[in-house]
A and B are shown apart, each in its own frame.
Chain A
Amino acid sequence: MTQSQHEAIAAPSMVVERQRRAKQRRTLFYLALIAVGLVAPFLAYPVFLMKILCFALFACAFNLLLGYAGLLSFGHAAFLASGGYVTGYLLASYPGLTPELGIIAGTLSATLLGVLFGVLSIRRQGIYFAMVTLALAQLMFFVYIQAPFTGGEDGLHGVPRGELLGFINLSNNMAMYYFVFAIFLFGFALIQRTVNSPFGQVLKAIRENEPRAVSLGYNVDAYKLLAFVLSAAIAGLAGSTKTVVFQLASLTDAHWHMSGEVILMTLLGGVGTLLGPVMGASLVVSLQHLLAQSPLGNWVSVILGIIFVVCVLSFRSGIVGELAKMYRKNFK
């Protein structure tokens, strides 16, 4: 910050020019990624790609909280599941409902749950916060087992994909893919905007030094709560979309292992980087997919555990974080 300010005073035009170029490069990079996303379903199995996109969005939502507000939630599965269950229940019981309305309803329910969780947990920090969110999510897990509308152990099945806006038939995998891709882009852009907004700057300030943010007059709790609710809402959006894609919602999404998995995805890809969670989710989902059909299938959880340990011990910036470090070292 201070360095760039110095430079700004020294040679404003050069800095402006450099920033403009950097922005251009970034735009080009994102456009290239979008292009990859557009052609991907012709190269790989679309349902698999949709799974990656849903989990990537989930991981991005989680990362918004951990990477930019410094809050480790161990209960994010609850939001994924509640989005999924509400969307699934509505679409299965009201055949006239279009999928986008179902997804909006699911997202809203996760948002409300996020407000509730947030109010209860936001005053605690660090490890306490992790455990409180974990316990709250566990409470929701019991609710999902008991509540009649979730189908309990059997889960919700046969959720119709329906027709988007009433005329695009989503039972076609290609149509479904581009719908999911659009949702993912929307969620990602929302997070990107949030992180780079003044609100995002305050969040980072709180993460770095909370007492200082308080002394500067910021209402720290309100900022954290807002970040928490936003993260919950996007996680719910991911869960709702996932339910429409797979036409089912099950307890797997609500289990605390799911909360652990999303941490792994984020950690592996790079905490606090925008693309890290996308990368991490792609890797973890692909890995599970490959392992499930190989002789090593029984060792999925062991391998995930090893990745966890390796990441924490020697790879804490994650793949994208390490790449960014290398890039900065060599090209700047």
Chain B
Amino acid sequence: MKFNKKTLAYCVAAAAASSLVASAAQAQMSDDEIRIGYLADMSGTYRDLAGPGGLTAMEMAVEDFGGSVNGTPVEIFSADDRNSADVGANTVRQWIDSDNVDMVGGLVASSVSIAVSNLIEENDGLAIVSGSAASSITNEHCTPNHIHWVYDTYPLANGTAKAVVEQGGDSWFMLTADYAFGHALEADVTSVVEASGGEIVGGVRHPFPTNDFSSYILQAQGSGAKIVGLANAGSDTVNAITTASQFGLTQSGQQLAGLLIFLNDVHALGLEATQNLLLTTGWYWDMDEQSREWAERYFDEVGRMPTMVQAGIYSSTTHYLKAVEAAGTDDPETVRAQMAEMPIDDFFARNGRIREDGRMVHDMYLAQVKTPEESTGEWDLYEILSTIPAEEAYRPLSESQCKLVQN
């Protein structure tokens, strides 16, 4: 009983303390500093997708903004989430509790992003997810406190599958990673393929992760489908593509469709294995003059060309700082509203705007991987075939299950 009384006393004390903090945050700029946290996988699977390069992009954004907003200096905190929701959420909790971090950016592994956005909602903060793929982040997991920037699985599956069927690839064999993410991607692709007049003739669900794909590729070859769709991610996709090229899948007339594949994957796999692969991307460094200019500056700093995620981190950080400048405060709710007010049109996003579910929609691009003969340099990897307009690319709000969307 003594224990309970004591505990209650602490509750009261702590509650009083936290209300003090809250009232301080109402002031113009909390603690005379704008604090941004960069949370990403710095050493694991997604290191090359965002990782240290993403931090550099964020630093560039702050530097290009002059290092301060309306005279208030901007400080960046960074941490490695080691792809663990546990570590990520713990770090962000401390950023909020003891460092008064105003915005959390980066955010790559979907599990980390979902955990962090739950936490951010509970604490009335602000997060911008740039690296995650799961479209559920602004669907069933949406909150008023986070924005999903670069891409998600919906436009990737939608854009690629539709384009492939239109080009005559109307029979599909699906290689699906056997967990929630793979199943969702497979379902998205299936509905698009069927709506466009194609059909799914077979498929196999492989364990996650899988090292050896030879058996599944053999089954795909036996199916007679024109297209082999890869509803998996990361090392699984990479392994599947490598194996497919060893088994001469493309030579025997079948074609691969990568639904979730990034610049760093193509670079690592090499053009020999990936040539002619169709994919959807949110941005490509060589797509126009503006992009090239930024990408080359980035290249000088990092020594690799930026992925769309790294470019997106620059874009989202800049947009955040602009909103803080326009609103004159770093109060998360005000800034979130201000961000949605302003359209986004920079080197990264075209026709961009933030919807009420937190999805930043912008033009996406259908790209094809070049052949070794076409490529003129180490990073000359994609050819942009067409633009998918922002309003068509993403999941329409009418299909949304987000609690913030009135249907």
Contacts and interface: CB of A to CB of B under 8 A. Distances in A.
Interface string A256-291: 000000000000000000000000000000001000
Interface stretch (B9-17, B195-203, B272-280): B9-17
A174 B180 contact: no
A158 interface: yes
B90 A252 contact: no
Given A142-B207, A157-B114, A250-B111, A300 B85 contact: no
Given A174-B14, A298-B43, A153 B6 contact: no
A332 B7 CA distance: 42
Given A154-B111, A178-B10, A252 B42 contact: no
A174 B7 CA distance: 7
Given A175-B11, A178-B6, A297-B79, A155 B85 contact: yes
A154 B85 CA distance: 8
B89 A174 contact: no
Interface stretch (A107-115, A165-173, A198-206, A226-234): A165-173
B296 interface: no
A292 B91 contact: yes
A277 B93 CA distance: 26
B118 interface: yes
Contact of A175 (B7, B79, B83): B7
Contact of A248 (B14, B85, B141, B178): B85
Interface string A117-161: 000000000000000000000000010011000011111011000
B80 A154 contact: no
A300 B179 CA distance: 29
A154 B134 contact: yes
Contacts of B114: 154-155, 157
Contacts of A48: 90, 94
Nearest to B178: A146
A298 B85 contact: no
Interface string B14-29: 1100000000000000
Given A45-B94, A297-B42, A178 B77 contact: no
B209 to A, nearest CB: 9
Contacts of A247: 89, 118-119
Nearest to A38: B6
B93 A47 contact: yes
B404 interface: no
A157 B86 contact: no
A155 B87 CA distance: 13
A47 B111 contact: no
Nearest to A159: B118
B98 A45 contact: yes
A51 interface: yes
A48, A146, A175, A292 pick with most chain B CB within 10 angstroms: A292
B10 A175 contact: yes
Given A145-B179, A153-B208, A173-B14, A300 B7 contact: no
Chain B contact-residue range equals 35 or more
B85 A301 contact: no
A287 B114 CA distance: 26
A252 B87 contact: yes
B291 to A, nearest CB: 28
A145 B179 CA distance: 7
Contact of A297 (B80, B86, B208): B80
B181 interface: yes
A146 B43 contact: no
B340 interface: no
B370 interface: no
Contacts of A146: 178-179
Contact of B85 (A142, A157, A175): A157
Contact of A152 (B83, B119, B181): B181
B245 interface: no
A153 B7 contact: no
B221 interface: no
A155 B86 CA distance: 10
A168 B79 contact: no
B11, B15, B111 pick with most chain A CB within 10 angstroms: B111
B115 A168 contact: no
B8 interface: yes
B43 A174 contact: no
Contacts of B119: 247
Contacts of B52: 298
A248 B111 CA distance: 10
Interface string B49-83: 00010000000000000000000000001111011
24 contacts: A48-B90, A51-B90, A154-B85, A154-B114, A155-B114, A157-B115, A168-B4, A168-B11, A169-B11, A172-B11, A174-B14, A175-B8, A175-B10, A179-B7, A248-B86, A248-B115, A250-B111, A252-B83, A252-B84, A252-B85, A288-B87, A292-B87, A297-B79, A298-B42
Interface of A: 45, 47-48, 51, 142, 145-146, 151-155, 157-158, 168-169, 172-175, 178-179, 182, 246-248, 250-253, 288, 292-293, 297-298, 300-301
Interface of B: 3-4, 6-8, 10-11, 13-15, 42-43, 52, 77-80, 82-87, 89-91, 93-94, 97-98, 110-111, 114-115, 118-119, 134, 136, 141, 178-181, 207-208
Given A154-B181, A248-B115, A293-B91, 6 more contacts: A146-B178, A152-B179, A174-B11, A182-B3, A297-B79, A298-B43
Closest 10 CB pairs of A and B: A174-B10, A252-B84, A152-B179, A250-B85, A297-B80, A152-B180, A298-B43, A154-B111, A158-B118, A155-B111
